Each structure stands twice: as C-alpha cells, then as structure tokens.
Amino acid sequence: MNRRSFLKQVIFLGAAGFLTYLSGCLGQKPSLELQEKPIRIGQLTELTGGLAVYGYSNDATAKAAVNLINETGGIAGRPVQYVVEDTATNPTVGIRKMRRLIELHKVDFIIGSQHSGIAIGCNPLAKEFKTLHFPLGEATSITEKDGNRYVFRINNNVREQVKAGIKFAVEELAKKWVTVVLDYSWGWSNEEEFKKYAEQAGAKVLLSIRTPIGTKDYLPYLSKIPEEAEAVFFANWFSDFINFIRDLHTLRPDIIKYGPVCCIEGVNLEPLADQVEDAWFLTWLPRNLEGYDTEFHRMFREKVGIDEEGREIGDPSKIYTVSHCWAVWEAIFAIKEAIEQCGWESKEDNPELIQALEGMEFKESLSHPQGDKFLRAEDHQAFMQHFVDHVENGKLVTKKIISIDESIYPAQVDYTKEGF
C-alpha cells in the first residue's frame, strides 16, 4: 500500500477502523492468485421504464462506491468489478436479467431491483443459485414470506416506514383518513400497513382506493372520498403522483396530504406549485442536505456527485433519488465489511458470510451515511432512523427525525432456521 492509499484508507475508515483493517490484512493476506481474482458485484436496476430515475441514481451510486473501494485497497485486498443489467422496470425482464448476472457474468453478489415485483420474483433465484441478493424494493413481504436466507435488505420496508411515521401522522396531522395507492405489490403493502397501524393508533381509515399504474384521470377515484375525511395517505409515483396531486387539488384543495417520499423521488416540485404545497412526506434521507447536514452525508454526496439540493453536480436537470440510492452504497459496504470479518473467498464461503451479516450492526460513517442501523438476524431486515419533510414554497424542509426504535416491529419469520 503506497502513502496515498494509506492516507485514503485512514480517512475512509477512521483511525480505529484502519488499525483493525490493517491488522486483518497483515494477518490474512490473500494469495497472489486470489488478489488477482476480482469480487464481482452485479446490480439489477431500472435504466429504462417507469423507474428509470431510480436506476440512473442507483447505477451512479454503485459506480462511485466501487471506485472508492478500489482506490482504497479493494475488499480484503481484492479488486471489485461492477456489472449492471437493465430490468426495464419489467418483472419478466428482471428475472431473466437476474439469471444473466449469475450464469453469464458470474457475479458473487446482486443488488436490486428497486421494483418490489421484480425483487419478489428474483428472491427464489438467490436461493437456487446460492447467491446473496440485496433487493431494494420496499414491499414488506420481500423479507417475510417472499424472502429466504440468501436475501438481505439494507434499506427499509413499508411496514417499517408506516410504523415509524404513524405517531406523527395520527397525533399531528389527522384522525380520519383515506388511502389512495397504486394497484400492485408496493401499493397494497402501503394500504395494508397504514390501515393497521393507523387504527392501532386511534385513527380511522374511511376508504381504501387502488388505482391502476398509468392512471391519467384520477377524478373518478378521488370523487369517492367521503366529505368527513381529513387527510389522504397516498402511495404512487412519477406521472401517477402528478396526475393524482393535480386532481386531488381540484377536488379537495384543503385536505391534508401525507405519503412516502417514493412518490416524489426524482421529481422537480417547483412546477407543481400550489398543488403539492403543504404536503408531508416520510423520507429515509432528506433530498436537501440541510435536512441532515452531517460530515458523512456531505462526503457521500461529494463521492456520488450530488449537490446540496439533491441535483447532479454539473447537470442540475437531474434530481437524484437521494432517499433511496444511499442503500446501494451501504449494501456494497456491508458486503465489504462482512467479507473482511469472516474471511470469505468465494461462494463456497457464503454460509459464513450469511452468518456474519445476520445481526450485524452498522455505525454512521462514510460507509453508512444514512445513520446507525442493524440487520435483524431472523428476517434479514435492516432498521434505521426516518425523517419527516414538509413542502414549503416548493421546497422540501425536514421537520422531524424519527428514531430507530419507532420503526421496529416483531419478526414474522426466522431465516436462521433455514439451511444453506
């Protein structure tokens, strides 16, 4: 390791972390043959189709993470190669591309997809091919009935999100709600979890509405909202959200609006003007840096190329999915940390790697800029802090940070009882 690499590694890990890293390297230096064999990380992402704005951000984030790791000594002294496949935001294509990553590209690990339906379809392949899979979709079932021991989720899920924000929603916003969600797995999960936790918190869901993806006219659906409804919980994205918020503003301009940040990720709010003004969003990492202005959040944005308002440095027309793409970064570094902890060399060592990840804790750092979190051993689900943003003069303003404890719920499965 030359002087430049040494200094980068000290800055990257911190003094204490670097000593641990260095002692591990000295004690378990890989063979020359192993040093020359790269660790291959694949990503299933939406470079085209309805979730392409996520794919652009996720791809750029993965490249930045891999570049930083390779600049600072690789993983356990080995270089990392990154391979990406486009799912086209299509479950059938996504499953085929999962096989392509494993069988053609011979990847060791797979991150993605952001699409819950694709993630659910790909999870069985992870077990079949004994390849660790880190999906980014947020449907709760991904780390419950649709998961297995080879699946880990570094980002949060719908149940976790709803539980984290429900106290704020019921105590500070409204007691009488209507839900409006997209008619597919992610939307269903939002509808189910919000109704359950809202009613447990003393609120009431008066009506649940599901809308087809690509709905252009929301008026027939929104006209069903009861007059006594005080607030709408929504779960839709991009053109669906834009059409929804336009028609909701037409029918019920004063109704309280609250939903997950997924609805507006990558969306420029300024043209929406008063339609989105005063809306509330539960977020996983604020779009605007001032909402969580920490040393490591700043460094993460610098490495990926994201400015303080969430736009691409050099091309402000591109708005990053900041509240989601951090999970790609953190998944790659979780892989690195687990490999260096257990001495993984190939897929034959996946049982040891899985056991290292089960129950693993991550402290806020450049490797984990979103904040402290842990991977629950039983269901391989990560738990973390959340944020509440409010739209003020067309800008997202962070009003509240919700602690990890508010998001935790009992595990519904125990993958540790599964074999390898």
**What residues form DSSP beta bridges with 138?**
none
**pLDDT tens-place values along the chain, 420 residues long:** 444 544 555 555 554 454 444 444 444 556 666 677 999 999 999 999 989 999 999 999 999 999 999 999 999 999 999 999 999 999 999 999 999 999 999 999 999 999 999 999 999 999 999 999 999 999 999 999 999 999 999 999 999 999 999 999 999 999 999 999 999 888 999 999 999 999 999 999 999 999 999 999 999 999 999 999 999 999 998 899 999 999 999 999 999 999 999 999 999 998 998 999 999 999 999 999 999 999 999 999 999 999 999 999 999 999 999 999 999 999 999 999 999 999 999 999 999 999 999 999 999 999 999 999 999 999 999 999 999 999 999 999 999 999 999 999 999 999 999 999
Do residues 213 and 322 both lie within one domain? no
Are 141 and 180 contained in the same domain? no
- Looking only at the bridges linking them, the beta strands covering 109-111 and 311-312 are unpaired
Answer yes or no: do 236 and 252 share one domain.
yes
Give CA–CA dist 185/191, Å, rounded: 10
The answer to whether position 415 is within a domain reads no
Q: Quick check: is 407 in a domain?
A: no
Q: Which domain holds residue 168?
A: 159-283
Same domain? 41 vs 139 = yes
Which pairs count as long-range contacts for 219-224, CB under 8 Å and 24+ apart, including other chains? 219/247, 219/250, 219/251, 221/180, 222/180, 222/247, 222/248, 222/251, 222/252, 223/251
The set of residues, in sequence order, having a beta carbon less than 8 Å from that of 173 and lying 6+ positions away, is: 230, 231, 256, 258, 280
How far is residue 231's CA from residue 217's CA, in Å, rounded to a whole number?
20
- 91 and 198 share one domain: no
Cis-peptide into 31, omega within 30 deg: no
Assigned domain for 271 exists: yes
Domain identity same for 163 and 186: yes
What is the CATH number for 72? 3.40.50.2300
Sequence-distant (6+) residues with CB within 8 A of 383 are: 156, 160, 373, 374, 376, 404, 407, 408
Residues 166 and 146 in one domain: no
User: What is the pLDDT at residue 223?
Assistant: 97
pTM of the model: 0.90
Residue 11 lies in a domain: no
